[in-house]
Amino acid sequence: MRYQDDTRIVMTLDGGGTNFVFSAMQAEKEIITPFALPAQASTLSETLYNIETGFRRVKSSIHGEPVAISFSFPGPADYELGIIGDLVNLTVFRGGVPLGPYLEEIFKIPVFINNDGDLFAYGEAISGFLPEVNNWLAEAGNPKRFQNLLGVTFGTGFGGGIVLRGELFLGDNSAAGEINRMSNKLYRNMSVEESVSIRGVKRVFSNYSNIPFDQTPSPKEIYEIAIGKRPGDLKAANKAFEELAIVAGNAIADALTLVDGLVVIGGGLAGAWPVFLDRLVEELNQPFATFSGQNIDRLEIKFFNLEDAAQRERFLKGSTRKIDVPGSSRKITYDPEHRSGIGITRLGTSRAIALGAYNFALSRLDSLS
């Protein structure tokens, strides 16, 4: 369901490991300029104070009363109950913190919390990457349409979310789409997040350039080295994003065996896609070997980089043809080429999360009324 004409206001938050980005939405549009407060604090009380202060500032900036608070926050958590567990990147959260009930006591409105990867995927499925790809197909005269989306975020950590036929898939333990828990292809006893994250990119650059980790450039600077915009160790920069591409591609391929849909990438590292996306797609299409010496396709679907004009054209063309129904004069349109595509956020990560949070809150409120 879309809420483009709904007048209700929802206060939102993109709760990352580095910054808390606050906003408010009405009719699927941000009605204030988003602003950030620091996520890191020395105590839980300070962190809660920052969150409360942010929402009070949002409320003072809007015209009208909000009907709900809806936002993303890292897990593990029991999102249904609004309880945050022991966080890796926000270590002041320990032992179960009832963040949702805490905010409900203060603001006297319902509070909905989800994983950032979930809400990012939901926002991109509502009015971002998913509908844009379907619009491309329609304009190309291709009857194929996509209904499923895997959203992944590359940033402080590696997040994921799954939308199946318009519904956000949450799981029984608020743990669906936790792609960061997959095994790392290059370091099998470690999680994929050790390579697909800001710290992963910096670690590889540090190792190849022999620069101490605490003196390593930021991922943005490493990207600029890789594209020749900034002086530095070109080999180390390329290796840093190559490892991200290989490990992320392998994890996404595993996830796609169950999801079978489009893939959209967001997060702070998404802007470096020109130096990693082709290699990531190569990993998605990498064949498996068999003991008989043959190769088999890694996936039943061929993947295309939809940021590349030539690959996008091939993806949109497909192999559509008419086939006869035996014993009748009827014909059916058929495209035997199983394929999908991957691209970069169309909304921007924070906006996609805010849109997902807004629509999630209103759909829940409507279901309860």
Rg of the Cα trace of the chain?
Answer: 22
Tell me phi and psi for residue 98, to 5 degrees. -75, 70
**Spatial distance between the Cα atoms of 171 and 353, rounded to a whole number of angstroms:** 19
What mean pLDDT comes out for the span 189-209?
97
109-140 residue pLDDT tens: 999 999 989 999 999 999 999 999 999 999 99
User: Confidence band (pLDDT; 50, 70, 90) for 369?
Assistant: confident
pLDDT attached to residue 120? 94
Q: pTM for the whole thing?
A: 0.91
Tell me phi and psi for residue 333, to 5 degrees. -75, 130
**Spatial distance between the Cα atoms of 167 and 171, rounded to a whole number of angstroms:** 12
pLDDT attached to residue 40? 85
Domains and CATH numbers, the chain: 9-114 (3.30.420.40), 129-346 (3.30.420.40)
Q: Calculate the average pLDDT of the chain.
A: 94
Rounded to the nearest 10 degrees, the angle between the axes of helix 234-259 and helix 277-284 is 40
pLDDT attached to residue 362? 97
30-78 residue pLDDT tens: 999 999 998 888 999 999 999 999 999 999 999 999 999 999 998 889 9
- Two tokens at 295? 């190769």
